[in-house]
Amino acid sequence: MASKDALKRVLSHLKEGKILGIANSWNEKSSASIWRPDVIKSTALKYRSYNPSLTRDDFKNLEPNVLFNSKPINGTDFELIKCRDPKFFQFKDQYVLLFENHDSMVKYMQNTSSSRINHVRVKFTPLRMGDMIGINYMNYVHNLLAAYDSSETYFDMIKRKREPIGDIDLQDLTQIAQPFEEKSALIWDLPLETKPIHVMDRFWFYDIKHCFKLYWDHTTGRTLYYVAFNEAQDCTKFRRNLHGCKLDDLPRKLLIHQLKG
């Protein structure tokens, strides 16, 4: 219900021509956000990695007091954003860790200064106001919600000029995006001639809401499909059961990515 309400709320703005942007008015709830001109100190860190599979736990376990404590502890709290291309939803080699305030961010940086991921020492950079990562994430969320609504809404959305109007911030965006990411998947390399109805008929035992082509190349034969599911668990099962499978009538293995994960 909450995800449906969020979708209706955001799409109502989109249909009125109001492209949601970065909030610029101060209030108590959003005073820690880095996306306001009257907040000087950063509350977010960016981390560059070519590994698309890192999770929030991977970053939480970088803190020595979490990794080496015999009893479960929470450590520094943050939200993890996996940066994606706004148009095709592909991972863009960067993560953003969004903290409640500047002090929490500094504490985390200090605690993890000697930590490593895949045997390489981590290097975090504070995310400054106006960084394009934030703008791209805003556009990604808008396009994702449009894609989940319908292919028509999506293709109309990507044609629109974006003008920030101060209705939403990064913290809100992560909360809005999460339920739709959990119910969204990408499929690489279905045959060029495949139609959306073919996909839904072929995989009828999963609760697919709709699907459509995001990308296709007649020279290479590569395609990219977006698939929206009515339930997150069906999306998870779809990816778990079919990723890497070579079906008899398909020329290539299926490559499936769930947006949340």
In CATH, the number for domain 183-258 is 3.30.70.330
| DSSP-based three-state secondary structure for 90 | coil
Which residues neighbour 166 within 8 Å (Cβ) at sequence distance 6 or greater? 21, 22, 23, 24, 25
Name residues of the chain where pLDDT drops below 50.
16-40, 167
CATH architecture of 2-181: 2-Layer Sandwich (3.30)
Position 35 scores a pLDDT of: 38
| Predicted TM-score of the model (pTM) | 0.80
Position 21 scores a pLDDT of: 40
Q: Which residues of 157-191 are buried (b: 16+ CB within 10 A; e: fewer)?
A: beeeeeeeeebbbbbbbbebbbbbbbbbbbbbbbe
| DSSP-based three-state secondary structure for 100 | coil
Between CA 134 and CA 80 the distance in angstroms is 13
Position 128 scores a pLDDT of: 81
Position 168 scores a pLDDT of: 53
CATH 3.30.70.330 domain range(s) in the chain: 2-181, 183-258
256 touches 243 (CB < 8 A): yes
